[in-house]
Structure 1
Amino acid sequence: MLLRILSAEFLKIRRKWLWVLVVAGPLGVVALQGVNFGLRYDYLVRGKQPGEVWDALIGDVSMLAMPALLMGLAIVASMSAGIEHQMNAWKLTLALPVSKRQVFAGKFVLTALLLLVSSALLVPLSAAFGLTLGLGGGSIPWSDLLTDAFYPYLASMPFIALQAWLSVTMANQAVPLTVGIIGMIVSLFAGARFPDWVPYKWPQLAVSANDPLYAVAAGVAFGIVVFAVGLTEFVRKDVK
């Protein structure tokens, strides 16, 4: 049944700008690094070993990708849930032979899948950009590219669940978007000052800590908790 709901959700967004956003996020991150490396080529590339350049490239991409991910998940969740809010179609949706649990799960999974695609695109785009810098194809650090793309995504799972919850339950999408923007700012500018157990620090820990799996595991576990709380609240809520 969940697959049918997801199929219906993908049909709803077929002519929306969501897919453009999914591609534009990682493309914009890598394009900005293109400008960065283009302006500072002599300092960042010339005379450096390929491994050093790859480390700098991956680190800079990760630095931009984290706020883009946190901002993007708020926008994606809002746009996917906003379809029903704009058309006042929640009662019609819930009148179908599907449970409220399945509808909520479908919205969450849709948001998570779109962000997964966006995170995955960072890998080939970053690798392609590295090759344009003249770095050898045999020296591509695929493991670092993969971990820096997917670890922050997994560590951000509580925020994906939270934004999906807020976007589905609130007709005024300004509220979840504001929460997402504030969360991105807090994580970006104050996250490093928080203790390791604070969720807003986890996306950074996922790429900078000695044990990034702590942030990944904590993100996935707490994401399940937030999802369960949101699911329970949505099931009990009267939809207008």
Structure 2
Amino acid sequence: MTAKVLAADFIKIRRTLVWFLVFLGPIGAVGLQAVNFFLRYDYLTKEYGADLWGGVLSNVQFMAAPALLLGMTLLTSMIAGYEHQTNAWKQLLALPVSRFSVFAAKLLLIAILLVVSCLVLAVCTILLGGALNYGWNFPVADLLRISFFPLLAGAPILTLQLWLAITVKNQAIPLTVGILGTVLSLFGANAPDWFFWKWPLLLTQAGPQQAVWMGLALGAVVFFAGLTQFTRQDVN
């Protein structure tokens, strides 16, 4: 049943700006670093001379994590906001589908879109390193880490934004929460490890794996909390 709702959701976003945002985030993040590296090519090549690809990856990650958080905010708001604007919630929930299927399908839709965005980020990062003449022998494990770990570590943020976007009709509220969290994440390097907007930066004391596992665990908790409210609350 969830698969059918998910398929219907994909049809709904065909003529929206959703796919544009999916590609804009990673291309924009890598593009900014491309400008940075090409303008300061000699300096940065010397600075990262011992590990050229490591320099590229660390700089891309610095831009990609906030872009990912902003993408979560905008995508959840756009997809849930479409249902609010067209007053489609009552019609959707009147169908013979469970609220779990509706809520889970929205989450799966956004997660799939963000996975595509992470793939685009990885490809663009490889192209950037090649264009800088740093060779094509890039560290695959590190590339996958900076591309996908932030998404896994950001699971509680994604589920929280979806919860807010679905249950609050005024999208200014989830947008404000998401944008504020994105801004705070920029200064999250020195924040305590319980501050989960820091986790997509992968800067927890025990390393990136800790951020991922904490993100997945808290993400599951927030998902079920949001699902519980969604099943009990009337959505206009």
Instruction: Give me the TM-score of the superposition, normalised by structure 2.
Output: 0.95
2:224 matched to which residue of 1? Answer: 228
What SS is found at the alignment partner of 1:238?
coil
1:180 matched to which residue of 2? Answer: 178
Shift of 1:192: 2.2
Shift of 1:183: 0.7
1:132-175 CA-partner distances (Å, limit 9, x unpaired) = 111222x2111111001111111100000000111111111110
Shift of 1:40: 0.1
Between the aligned partners of 1:100 and 1:229, the Cα distance in structure 2 is: 13
CA contact (8 A) 2:9 2:109 kept: yes
What SS is found at the alignment partner of 2:166?
helix
Shift of 1:37: 0.7
Q: Structure 1: 5+ residue runs without aligned partners?
A: none
Q: Structure 2: 5+ residue runs without aligned partners?
A: none
2:71 matched to which residue of 1? Answer: 72
2:199 matched to which residue of 1? Answer: 202
Shift of 1:117: 1.2
User: How many residues in Structure 1 have an aligned counterpart in Structure 2?
Assistant: 236
| Structure 1 counterpart of 2:163, from 159, 162, 165 | 165
1:107 matched to which residue of 2? Answer: 106
1:118 matched to which residue of 2? Answer: 117
2:208 matched to which residue of 1? Answer: 212
Between the aligned partners of 1:133 and 1:164, the Cα distance in structure 2 is: 38
Shift of 1:187: 1.6
Sort the Cα spacing of 1:25 and 1:157 in 2 relative to 1 into closer, same or farther, 3 A.
same
Larger displacement relative to structure 2 (191-200 or 58-67): 191-200
Q: Percent identity?
A: 49
Q: Is 1:32 matched up with 2:65?
A: no
Shift of 1:47: 8.9
CA contact (8 A) 2:153 2:215 kept: yes
Q: Is 1:193 matched up with 2:190?
A: yes
1:55 matched to which residue of 2? Answer: 54
Instruction: Give me the TM-score of the superposition, normalised by structure 1.
Output: 0.94
Between the aligned partners of 1:47 and 1:74, the Cα distance in structure 2 is: 35
Structure 1 counterpart of 2:164, which letter?
L
CA contact (8 A) 1:163 1:180 kept: yes
Between the aligned partners of 1:48 and 1:186, the Cα distance in structure 2 is: 28
Shift of 1:203: 1.5
1:87 matched to which residue of 2? Answer: 86
Shift of 1:115: 1.2
What SS is found at the alignment partner of 2:30?
helix
RMSD, aligned α-carbons = 1.5
Shift of 1:120: 1.9
Between the aligned partners of 2:91 and 2:47, the Cα distance in structure 1 is: 63
Shift of 1:10: 0.3
Between the aligned partners of 2:27 and 2:194, the Cα distance in structure 1 is: 31
2:141 matched to which residue of 1? Answer: 143
CA contact (8 A) 1:161 1:227 kept: yes
Between the aligned partners of 1:73 and 1:174, the Cα distance in structure 2 is: 15
Between the aligned partners of 2:191 and 2:47, the Cα distance in structure 1 is: 38
CA contact (8 A) 1:91 1:239 kept: yes
Between the aligned partners of 1:133 and 1:239, the Cα distance in structure 2 is: 51
What SS is found at the alignment partner of 1:128?
helix
